Amino acid sequence: MTKIVVTGAAGFIGANIVKGLNARGVDEIIAVDDLTQGDKFRNLADLKIADYVDAAAFYPLFAEGAFGKVEAVFHEGACSDTMETDGKYMMENNYTLSCGLFNACQEHGTRLLYASSAATYGGSDTFRETPEFEKPLNVYGWSKLLFDQRMRRELGPDFGRTRNKKKGQVAGFRYFNVYGPREQHKGRMASVAFHQFNQFRAEGKVRLFGEYGGYGAGEQMRDFIYIDDVVAVNLWFFDHPEKSGIFNLGTGRAQPFNDVATAVVSALQPGTPAQGLIEYVPFPEALRGKYQSYTQADLSALRGAGCDHAFADVQSGVAQYMASLAQA
């Protein structure tokens, strides 16, 4: 029976990967997380796993081979707070721990599929998986970039172009703006769609940032990707162990935040024009110089690998999400 590890399993993307594996009938899953924030258990409560291991205990045990033969690790565990300023904490969680996990996977012949981030591009206006476009704006983005760079060094110049049977599969995914069910625990780092659902329910209106970075109010553009699409691509790579590399995971389509707000209003109050129900607030000083006003994934590498998954646009993805939240 195939044994899988999911780190960050009680988090947003990790829990949805567990759900996606369960939908395939896979439940021999070791869920790894830190439940200091106890409410995160809700993300796993309706899912099937074989075991739960605290993150602090897992990594040294895995390095020792304590879990036997593990086919693959979906490594979603990380500090994902882009406003975290404690660089030591960020690097220990996102870089040092990941390096140790990579070494253990290599030792035990375990495939590694890991979470990188579009924050690696930072101030760039081109979002292609090559070094000249990697310009992180915060320590979170740099921590993710440093691990990507480590993988390039470890796996050599053919990483992502040819299969290295000796090294086995290593695939990193640069997530763009992911939204969808099971993100309720994330607080300020939850998606704008999640916050706007709650705002509209409480106040009958939604809020967006005003003018910034040469963009009009609500016109900053991001590549918003629905969680089901993120899971689908992760599982596609799981099905194709010969595919390795670093890949953008977005839709390839930038849309303004105003589109998200309009989709939220349309889903929660059909037939109501969004105009007048969107409130624009001054851009926060704390984010100036650290904010990506535009992102759009270049999907050339993903498509070149053979993954032809069709991604939902904001309108359809947000409608699905609002329906899910309304039923919760």
Distances, alpha carbon 319 to alpha carbons 43, 204, 219, 249, in Å: 21, 17, 20, 21
Identify the sign of the CA torsion 172, 180, 77, 89: positive
CB 319 within 8 A of CB 263: yes
Residue 186: how many other CB atoms lie within 10 Å: 16
Catalytic residue list contains 48: no
Q: How far apart are CA 111 and CA 240, in angstroms?
A: 11
Q: For residue 321, give the H/E element and its range.
A: helix 314-327
Q: What is the secondary structure of 214-245 as a DSSP string?
A: TB-TT--EE-EEEHHHHHHHHHHHHH-TT--E
Q: How far apart are CA 52 and CA 24, in angstroms?
A: 20
Q: Exactly one of 89, 186, 212, 280 is catalytic; which is it?
A: 186
Residues of 101-136 as b/e, b for ≥16 C-beta within 10 angstroms? bbebbbebebbbbbbbbbbbbbebeebebeeebbbb
Which residue carries 């033969």 as its tokens? 69
Q: Exactly one of 95, 114, 140, 175 is catalytic; which is it?
A: 140
Q: How far apart are CA 53 and CA 134, in angstroms?
A: 34
Catalytic residue list contains 243: no
Q: How far apart are CA 268 and CA 61, in angstroms?
A: 47
Catalytic site positions: 140, 186
